[in-house]
Amino acid sequence: MVRDSNGGDVQTRRDYIKGSGALLAGGLLAGCAGQTGSESEGTNGRASSTTGSRSTDGPYTVSMEPVGKVEFDSVPETWVANNGSWADMGVALGLEPPKGVWLTSRYHTQYYEGIDGVSVDKSGMISLYQDGVNKERFYQLDADVHIMDPNFLINRFKGWKQADVDEIHDTIGPVFGNCIYAQHYPWHEESRYYTLMEGFRKLAQVFKRTDRYETFVDVHEAFQSNLEPVVPARSERPSVAVMWGTGDEPKQFYPYVIGDGTGFKHLNDLGVKDALATTDIKDFHGSRGAIDIETLLEVDPEVLLLRGYEAKSEAEFRNTVVGFLQNHTVASNLTAVENGDVYRAGGLYQGPITNLVLTQRLAKQLYGVETTLFDRQKVAAIVNGELK
């Protein structure tokens, strides 16, 4: 038995953790543990062994940086996800929704509305971040596993230390994950990054649903094949600026230089040209700074993609944000505003399903693509366990 932060006895949820995943005195979670498991990844992200498959009985291990190998004595039933990227992966695997995510407002379940047979009720879901991240909230949720990067907790929020992560890991349930939505944080440089599909495979191994993952790989590959011919030559692609807007009448914008995290996958798959890449404007992840409309006019991108408005419908977005820019003395001179090329940028947290939806949406807006690029019925079948 161990004691929680209130002094009460708590039964350890995890009977044991073996091997290099054990939380040794050196605090392995904070470092960069190499992947020494038996599985390896091919170019398409498939597993080359049966690690994490349904047929495995008894304790099993899954390896992922920065946590290294973690052994599970049974398949988790309840879970907490760092953000909508991981939550969406869970949907694709047919799991019950996570009990909590970082911010429920940024997990946009309305993306599933266009896929018959797929829906998520997040009414009972808890936001982990509520004017800070309270450790007691993890005790209240009492999840079997916490899919989040421990270094994100330690480096992004004051008050969190390695000992706090260890406490959650040992007394409630394993902490397992990697910050995959963005690749701009200096503290992430010590451990490798994972692509969306690589992270998806790891989660499938944790929940022993690699059969659904493998089937979804086929959907993803077919989507990539359908996407390739509709993306024009680079010289014909527009310059795009990705910004986080501030309210319905945005006069300041937080700039996002397009990177390689899951939050930019749809932009990279569509091959957009980043209007900010050749400027002196600092990326928000590193600077936390904003720019004004006058500075944005100096960049003058052909297309303006605004984050922070996914809760709005397209009509609501155009009637409020776009309408304001069209009537603003300076913003109305932006090429993107003049040409009607201001769109919602898509959520920052993307998983395998939401990425398909957002890439389809942006392909229509940027390149006029009307054809359906992914098989919605196949996606729904995978979610519902219909794999044949």
Q: What is the pLDDT of residue 101?
A: 97
Q: What's the angle, vertex CA 63, arms to CA 24 and CA 19, rounded to 5?
A: 40
Total-model pTM: 0.85
Cα distances (Å, whole numbers) of residue 328 to 294, 313, 323:
11, 22, 9
* Average pLDDT, rounded, for the chain: 86
State residue 158's pLDDT score. Answer: 78
Sorted by sequence, the CB contacts under 8 Å of residue 91 that are 6+ apart come out as 97, 112, 118, 120, 351, 353, 383
pLDDT at 286: 67
Kindly report, residue by residue over 4-37, the tens digit of the pLDDT: 333 333 344 443 333 333 332 233 232 223 333 3
What is the spatial distance between Cα 374 and Cα 369, in angstroms, rounded to a whole number? 12
Q: Looking at per-residue confidence, does 148 or 28 come out higher? A: 148
CA distances from 139 to 13, 80, 82, 314 (A): 12, 11, 16, 39
The predicted pLDDT at position 57 comes to 60
Question: How big is the chain by its Cα radius of gyration, in Å?
Answer: 21
Ordered structural domains, the chain, with CATH = 2-224 (3.40.50.1980), 230-383 (3.40.50.1980)
Pairing state of beta strands 342-344 and 68-72?
unpaired
The arithmetic mean of pLDDT across residues 141-145, rounded, is: 98
Burial 231-259 (b: 16+ CB within 10 A, else e): beeeeebbbbbbbbbeeeebbbbbbbbbb
d(CA 74, CA 60): 8
User: 342 φ, ψ to 5°?
Assistant: -115, 120
Least confident segment among 185-199, 202-216, 313-327, 331-345: 185-199
Could you tell me if 76 and 144 are in contact, meaning their C-beta atoms sit under 8 angstroms apart?
yes
Query: Does residue 260 or residue 3 have the better pLDDT?
Result: 260
> Which uninterrupted H or E stretch holds 169?
helix 162-171
User: Phi and psi at residue 382, in whole multiples of 5°?
Assistant: -65, -45
Say what the pLDDT of residue 140 is.
97
Give me the pLDDT at residue 37, please.
32
pLDDT, tens digit, 9 for 90 and up, residues 188-237: 667 788 999 999 999 999 999 999 999 999 999 999 999 999 999 999 99
Residue holding tokens 């390739």? 228
